Amino acid sequence: MAIEYEIKLRGDRVDLLEALARIGARARGDRVLEDDLVLDTADGRIRRAGGLLRLRRRGEGFLLTLKGRSDEHGEVKAMTETETAVTDGEALRALFEQLGFAVAQRYQKYRTAFTCPLPGCESVLLTLDETPVGDFLEIEGDPELIHRCAEALGFERQDYEMRSYLEIHRVERGAGDMLFDAAPTEAP
C-alpha cells in the first residue's frame, strides 16, 4: 500500500496554463473526461473512516482505487492508496452491488496531465483538472518536490488546497453529485 502525497492549487484555467508554460511543462496526452463513482455501504462505513472507494471511467478504461487516511501529517495531503486497472467496470460495479455496496456519489472532471521539466522533479505528476467547482492544478509526488514545483509555478504554501473535490463541492454547493451541466469546450 503506497502513500500518495498531493496538493491542489486553485486558479483560473488560463492562469494555471500560463504558470505551466512558464516552467516549460508540456501536455502528456489528451484532455480526458474522468467519470467517478464513489462506492460505499448503506451506512457510509468507508467515508466515515476517512476513506474512498472509487471506480473511475477514463476514456474506455476503468480504474478501481481505495484511499484511506494516513498517519503521516504535514503540509501536503497524505493518503494511503491502492489501485488497479479494471477491464470490465460495469461487471465490477455489479459485483460490488451484490456485496452490499452502492453508488454514494458521482463526480466528473476533465483532466490533462503535464510533464514536470524542473531538474530533479521529473517524477512529479502535474494535472490540470477542470471541475464543476472550478479549475485546479494538482501536484502529486514527494512532498519536498511538491513544494519546489508549487513555488516555481508562483504559489505559496498558504495557497495549498488539501480538501478533495467532493469536500469542496459539499462546502460550496451542498449535497448531490458533482457533474457538469454542459461539458467545457476548450482544450489546453
Domain parsing of the chain, residue ranges? 2-173
Q: Are 160 and 26 in contact (CB under 8 A)?
A: no
Provide the β-strand partners of residue 71.
Answer: none
Question: Are 92 and 62 in contact, with CB atoms under 8 Å apart?
Answer: yes
Q: Which CATH number fits domain 2-173: 2.40.30.10, 2.40.320.10, 3.30.470.10, 3.20.20.80?
A: 2.40.320.10
Q: What is the pLDDT of residue 86?
A: 96
Side chain identity, residue 26: R
pLDDT, position 183: 54
Q: Grid coordinates representing 117? A: 521539466
pLDDT of 185 reads 54
How high is the mean pLDDT in each 10-residue block of the chain (188 residues)?
A: 94 97 96 97 95 95 94 86 96 97 96 96 97 97 96 97 94 91 56
125-132 contacts: CB < 8 A, separation 24 or more? 126/20, 126/25, 128/13, 128/16, 128/17, 128/20, 128/188, 129/8, 129/165, 130/13, 130/184, 131/107, 131/165, 131/178, 132/107, 132/108, 132/169, 132/173, 132/178, 132/179, 132/180, 132/181
**pLDDT for residue 182:** 61
Q: Which helix (H) or strand (E) holds 60?
A: none
